[in-house]
Amino acid sequence: MKKTLGAIALTVTLGTFALPAAAGGPFPAITNDAVSRECSDCHVLYRPEMLPASTWKEIMGDLPNHFGEDASLTEPLRTEIEAYHLANAANVSSHRRAMKFMEGVDLKNPPKTVTTTPRFIRKHEDLDPALFTSKEIGSKARCDKCHFDAAKGDFGDDNVIVPGYVNLPFGIHFKPFW
């Protein structure tokens, strides 16, 4: 029994150091002040690497109807922000996280939101759908409610606390059965 517990403790200890490096780290920092300011004014600062360029073009082309809100900008500001997103989109960037977000994406029918990407769906499929409409979360778009380093561009499994779930190291979360 002591050998088993010692092996588990060693695995957990070594895993703590190995997993963050394997996870690939956060998304690249946003280097455009207008993007940082305008795109985080009302919601989490989503990274351009989370969606393909065609989706960003569509989103930026209809800001008066931005997911039920009027997010209109002056044309020079809108153009600057759109250019930044297009230059760093998931299907343009060579960053590891961008490539992960492109896995399974059909560019002929691209996702309309981060929450409809194959990556988001895969990473959240084991969670109770009611969690996203709970008072603690509010919607799937509120990444910062579980990913406590989302503001820094880190949406990885290592920095997640899911409300109402048992949260273990290594990105393991489960709904208590007791």
Burial string for 76-99 (b: 16+ CB within 10 Å, else e) reads eebebbbebbbebbbbbbebebbe
Residues 165, 140 within the same domain: yes
Question: Is 104 within the bounds of a domain?
Answer: yes
Q: Helix, strand, or coil here: 167?
A: strand
Q: Structurally, how many domains does the chain consist of?
A: 2
pLDDT tens, position by position, for the chain (178 residues)?
444 434 444 334 333 333 333 445 799 999 999 999 999 998 999 999 999 999 999 999 999 999 999 999 999 999 999 999 999 999 999 999 999 999 999 999 999 999 999 999 999 998 999 999 999 999 999 999 999 999 999 998 888 999 988 888 877 878 786 6
Residues 39, 84 within the same domain: yes
Question: Is 3 within the bounds of a domain?
Answer: no
Residues 100, 49 within the same domain: yes
Residues 140, 89 within the same domain: no
Residues 164, 136 within the same domain: yes
Number of C-beta neighbours around residue 105 at 10 A: 18
This prediction has a pTM of 0.82
Residues 80, 130 within the same domain: no
**Where in the sequence is the domain holding 158, given as residue range(s)?**
126-178
